[in-house]
Amino acid sequence: MSDKHATLTLNNESIDCPVLDGSLGQSVIDIKPVPKTQHFTFDPGFGATAACESGITFIDGQQGILLHRGYPIDQLAFDTDYMEVCYLLMHGDLPNADQKDQFIHMIKKHSNVHDQINRFFCGFRRDAHPMAIMVGVVGALSAFYHDSLDINNPELRELSAIRLVAKMPVLAAMSYKYSIGEPFMHPKHELSYAENFLNMMFGTPYDDTTKPDPVLSRAMDRIFTLHADHEQNASTSTVRVAGSTGANPFACISAGIGALWGPAHGGANEACLRMLQEIGSEDRISEYIAKAKDKNDPFRLMGFGHRVYKNYDPRAKVMQQTCHEVLDTVGCHDDPIFKLAMKLEKIALEDEYFVEKKLYPNVDFYSGITLNALGIPSNMFTVIFAIARTVGWISQWMEMMSDPNRRLARPRQLYTGPTQRDVSNISDR
Ligand code: CMC
């Protein structure tokens, strides 16, 4: 705590609010004394509210900085792999070689899903959106792993975390295989996390000998790293709110998957590719830029803008480079959608409206094109985001569960409904 204080004066009464300093970034005004004045604070969308203390991820949106446990995202993306990032988020520091081996061993050990979960899938329509399947099946894991549901036991919390990180790619690939009518694939111990995911997506039991191309599996791994955590975003806050009630971790992560699905959040990658396909050619860019600027048109440039970044999203820079590498490898560098995206980005970055509102490309602007080039169908894009973000969600959940100051999340409201009135007889209404 700093020795700074903020004073709120209301109807001649003053209350003193302590100012709390973090290790980086903005300080916060502790408004817990405010209800003593018989008022609440009002902050729809939580744009001015820090809901928790956290030591996991730091974002400086003005400078375009993203750090996980202090490490810059570009260094993590280029110099480590996703398993190391998972360990970092869960345990606070990067693993040494032995710790990494042991962690990977645990992930592999827990990657198989219970055989009865296969039957769960049969209950979904063949054309179900894979995110709908994920919301259901991940929540259903709580019915299978009773042995790790004691949320007050830190070792069992960690076991649930490992289970979730290990099983997410398997369940995700199953949701895809189910939709195309191919048999489910099992994870293979000799493959890495990203290789396994690609193999479970594209391999078949009759032909699973080909190891995915190293550039493509590296790109997949990097996509996982870039989406691993992002501070108190909408889905992470959902996980924390659900977790504050004492709900089990599988139910909390399922809630997070639901929140991620929306196009303002994780659904933007799918929506962005759809938008680029709809624009179709460079000569229609100005028409769509005009639509995005028109207050009477609900259209927004997908993959642009961010609640926190008022500068280039540092993940988007890495994503753009990864996109180039993937397109080179699959021989699609002249891909018209990629060219269109680069042109659209250039035009938007020079347009007064986007400059003035500080609307820069976010991670989803290039991730859709990259995933498309990897052969991933667009309805799986947000599922891939969910696989990657699971470690962030569960690390934030574990941090919250070990916080002695944890409280039930229960916001208040500004009531604008009818004042008290009496119920009349139905014949008089
Ligand atoms: N296209 C056109 N105008 C925009 C856009 C956009 N993509 N984003 C924001 N604006 C305008 C908006 O109309 C508003 O204008 P005004 O001040 O005149 O009313 C101003 O910029 C501020 O927008 P806001 O909606 O108040 O800002 P926000 O912080 O609530 O919204 C956002 C952030 C991400 C929801 C928004 O930028 C958006 O809808 N972007 C497109 C969807 C998208 O790409 N989402 C992925 C986010 S990154 C992945 C993740 O981390 O989840």
Q: What is the mean pLDDT of residues 313-325?
A: 92
Q: Give distance in angstroms: CA of 311 to centre of ligand 1.
A: 13
CA of 336 to the centre of ligand 1 (A): 26
Q: CA 359, CA 347: separation in Å to the nearest integer?
A: 12
Rounded CA gap, 387 and 168, in Å?
5
Q: Which helix (H) or strand (E) holds 17?
A: strand 13-20
pLDDT in tens, 249-276: 999 999 999 999 998 899 888 889 999 9
Catalytic (active site) residue 229: no
The question of whether 403 is a catalytic residue gets the answer no
Do 277 and 247 touch, CB atoms closer than 8 A? Answer: no
* Cα 341 to middle of ligand 1, angstroms: 18
Is 266's C-beta closer than 6 angstroms to any atom of ligand 1? Answer: yes
Q: Is 370 in the pocket of ligand 1 (CB under 6 A)?
A: no
Tell the residue number behind the tokens 């008290």, with chain if given.
Answer: 420
Asked if residue 362 has its Cβ within 6 Å of ligand 1, the reply is: yes
Catalytic, out of 227, 229, 306, 351: 306
**Is the model more confident about 338 or about 61?**
61
pLDDT of residue 208: 64
Torsion angles phi and psi, residue 6, rounded to 5:
-115, 145
Cα gap 361→292, rounded to integer Å: 14
Q: Whose C-alpha lies nearest to ligand 1, atom 11?
A: 357
Of the listed ranges 55-64, 171-180, 322-331, the least confidently predicted one is: 322-331
Q: Which helix (H) or strand (E) holds 215?
A: helix 214-226
Beta bridge partners of 65: 60
Q: Read off the pLDDT of residues 118-145 as tens digits, 9 standing for 90 and up.
A: 888 989 998 999 999 999 999 999 999 9
Does position 1 have pLDDT exceeding 70, yes or no?
Answer: no
| Predicted TM-score of the model (pTM) | 0.92
